Amino acid sequence: MTAWPPELPDPFDPNLAAFAMQSDPTWPPAVEEQPQAIDNIDESAEHFRSRFDLLKEELQKYIVGQDEVLEHVITAVVAGGHVLLEGAPGLGKTTLVRSLANALSLQLQHVQFTPDLAAPDLIGTNLLIGSGSGHANPHFEFSPGPIFCNVLLGDQINRAPPKTQAVLLEAMDEKSVTIAGQTRLLAEPFFVLATQNPLEEGAFALPPTQLDRFFFSLPMSQPTVEELDLILERTIDVPPPAMEPIFPGEDLLLMRDFARGVVVEPAVRRQVAEVIMATHPHADMGRSVGVKKYVRCGASPRAGQALIMAAKIRAVRAGRFYIITEDILAFAIAVLRHRVTLTPKAQMENLVVEDILMNMLQELYHHWGK
């Protein structure tokens, strides 16, 4: 297990002008123009890509298929976002999260969300120490809950009561929790990978404010016959391969800082804004008939921020220091599907949000090409 970076002076303090020039038609500049900053960026970008690919290859030892899910999960954790994994039991959601934490040497806590899970069960509580006879100086001592970790695996998160969901919302948004009036910071990196069975809605559906905190919502599909055969081959009478840490989880923070330096041209930023506003049925950009007819509430500005960050990571992986339209479209569905609320009429007609969003994106793409 090696740490980032590989013998580079300071690749995560790049000269932003060097990034900007790489999206300019006159790129590359003459050798005498900031050669050191440019060299650092190129080498760091290559190291970024190798880290991303290495992590994906490691996860593929334990997860058969689900390539798009793996790409999206790694993108989200590099971006510092949280992920909602949806799918029937037994599809590998828990295995994916455990494998990710082990590969990055991150502390994992697994919490089974139930209707009787109280907030102190998640964040911890203050215990009175030394209050019995013969004990001097009684005092309160904080006993941390499972949320004080790097990776929180929340199983069946939609079954948690509202008060517990509110505590989790603060942790996801602020990277901190408040106990007895005192704010305690969580470790970095920290991200929530939550699971939800769409066939079991539970007693407490996640409110839109909490769903909006998830960077991506990713459905895990049933395996094909070939994939299931490979799963059985790997798990029946054969011990699973040993999980070896491949690089420190702290490297995710450095990768995130590097990706933030990718340039977003005004025209592309405008496209992101149009994608978000097109999900609102009464907005000027709401051209799609499906959105106007079947969407009750569209996505928030936080969706645009997530979409740009994911696009930046994809651009670095593609060897670019600027994002393009294809980077946006590659992540639009995963960013929007849980942030767009359908009307009861859409549900009665058995319409799914992905189809409505896909039609909307196709209309936008056609509009951009004019």
Residue 252 above 70 pLDDT?
yes
Residue 77 above 90 pLDDT?
yes
| Residue-level pLDDT at 20 | 38
Do residue 266 and residue 255 come from a single domain? Answer: no
Asked if residue 46 belongs to a domain, the reply is yes
pLDDT band at 5 (very low <50, low <70, confident <90, very high): very low
Boundary of a domain, candidates 233, 260, 287:
260
Provide the percentage of residues in the chain whose pLDDT is more than 70. 81
Name which residue leads in pLDDT, 93 or 214. Answer: 214
Asked if residue 66 belongs to a domain, the reply is yes
Do residue 230 and residue 248 come from a single domain? Answer: yes
Domain count, the chain: 2
Do residue 249 and residue 139 come from a single domain? Answer: yes
Enter the pTM of the model. 0.82
Do residue 289 and residue 254 come from a single domain? Answer: no
Asked if residue 5 belongs to a domain, the reply is no
Could you give the CA distance from residue 153 to residue 194 in angstroms, rounded to a whole number?
A: 6
Residue 126 above 80 pLDDT?
no
| Residue-level pLDDT at 356 | 92
| Residue-level pLDDT at 204 | 63
Radius of gyration of the chain (CA): 23
Best CA proximity match to 47, nearest among 82, 71, 78, 77: 78
Indicate the DSSP class of residue 239.
Answer: P
Could you give the CA distance from residue 297 to residue 318 in angstroms, rounded to a whole number?
A: 34
Containing structural domain, residue 328: 262-370
Do residue 178 and residue 221 come from a single domain? Answer: yes
- DSSP assignments along 7-39, one per residue: S-S-TTS--HHHHHHHTSTTPSPPTTSSHHHHH
Residue 82 above 70 pLDDT?
yes
CATH number of the domain at 182, please: 3.40.50.300
Boundary of a domain, candidates 238, 260, 282:
260
Indicate the DSSP class of residue 159.
Answer: G
Q: Residues 18, 38: contact at Cβ < 8 Å?
A: yes
Q: Residues 280, 298: contact at Cβ < 8 Å?
A: yes
Could you give the CA distance from residue 82 to residue 214 in angstroms, rounded to a whole number?
A: 5
Tell me the pLDDT tens digit for each residue of 253-305. Answer: 999 999 999 999 999 999 999 999 999 988 776 577 888 888 988 999 999 99
Name which residue leads in pLDDT, 233 or 104. Answer: 104
Average pLDDT score over residue span 114-131: 80
Boundary of a domain, candidates 225, 260, 295:
260
Residue 10 above 60 pLDDT?
no
